[in-house]
Structure 1
Amino acid sequence: MPRADSVGTVPVTVVTAGGRADGVSYTYEANPVTTGLDPTSGPASGGTAVVSDTEIVAVAPPEVAGAADIVIQSPGSNADMPSAYTYLAGPGI
């Protein structure tokens, strides 16, 4: 299947030694896009429910304190938000 220049349905013709099939279609879907999330930070221990502006809900796993990239993966491509979430260090004792 060739890559599409835009989103939409295209006609497909299947040709085999046994014959030809017309009237088949294939739909190219839009790549994932996100521009924000809430909250943008949480504890390094993880467990914070994070919601993107496209209503994807994820739970932040434990991680060291600092900035983290958000990557939403799909079969066609990824939506990347570099340093969009910050893991916060716990209070010192």
Structure 2
Amino acid sequence: MGAEPDWDAVTAAVKAALGPLPRLQPGDELSRQRLIENLAACRQGRLWQADLGLTELPPYPFACECGRSGCDLTWSATPDQYDVRSTGRVVADGHS
């Protein structure tokens, strides 16, 4: 996989591997889970960068950490940009 992966294919593969999962409670529980997922995405991105010897990573989608049930908003960033923005809950643009 190069520096521009097929994110739709990656998403489909992850969903197929995980199967149905229990629903988390909206609010802090769901927000905390999205934070954990985003931190894992940062780690994986940095490992990918090191493995391929990339000087910088392209932006990729991070989940909104608003905690609202059904929210599927994302925002694109690199792990470094996520680290800078992640001083609390990272909420994607588009919320009122």
TM-score band by shorter chain is under 0.3
TM score, norm. by length of structure 1: 0.26
Which structure has more relative contact order (CA 8 Å, sep 6+)? It is 2
Bigger share in strand: 1
